[in-house]
Amino acid sequence: MRDSRPKTRQQQSLYTPEERQRRDKSPWTKVQGVLALLQLLIFAVSLALVLRYLSTGEGFLLASISIILKTLVLYTIMVTGSIWEKDVFGCYLFARPFFWEDVVSMLVMALHTAYLVVFVFSLLDASSQMLLALVAYSSYVVNAIQFLFKFRLARLEREAHQNVAPGLLGVSQ
């Protein structure tokens, strides 16, 4: 007899079989991977430049340019990520498996955008601008950890799916 109780969040798969198939066929899946790595690299360099400025008082312009570059890549990854979600889940944002990641992404976007506004209109002194960037970067780290967790979960599900399927067909591995 089949259990008709609704699955708990832990029992639900990250992807349905149809969503997994759409994910694997979407060109945006690879785009997201490349942009995520690019953003991580820019983040690491920019973080070093921001910390350098805060500790020495040197390199404000270079640190600012790196934050702006990081923000532009963030905008790009958000737009392409929304297209990816539409391809895979049928909605541009807040799909079931990535709801909380998207919520935190909105905070990340708001903080990075706040930095741009503060920088362009010189609303804060240079050190305060860099501290705002660090707050934005902290939210990015939280969001990156969320996505890395989902990436690992997807990999584990894929491995489990690959290991179960041959056994169901009676084929040994």
Domain ranges of the chain: 26-168
Angle (nearest 5°) at CA 169 between 13 and 164: 30
Angle (nearest 5°) at CA 150 between 147 and 154: 140
Q: What is the pLDDT of residue 128?
A: 98
Looking at residue 5, the DSSP 8-state letter turns out to be: S
- Of 135, 138, 126, nearest to 57 (Cα)? 126
What backbone torsions phi and psi does residue 120 show, to the nearest 5 degrees? -60, -40
Residue 52, both tokens: 């350098």
Q: What is the pLDDT of residue 11?
A: 52
- Residue pLDDT tens, the chain, 173 long: 444 444 443 457 888 989 999 999 999 999 999 999 999 999 999 999 999 999 999 999 999 999 999 999 999 999 999 999 999 999 999 999 999 999 999 999 999 999 999 999 999 999 999 999 999 999 999 999 999 998 888 888 878 777 755 544 444 44
3-state DSSP percent of the chain in helix, strand and coil, to 5: 80, 0, 20
Within 10 angstroms of residue 10's Cβ, the number of other Cβ atoms is 5
Q: What is the pLDDT of residue 4?
A: 45
Residue 76, both tokens: 């790009």
Location of structure tokens 């008082």: 57
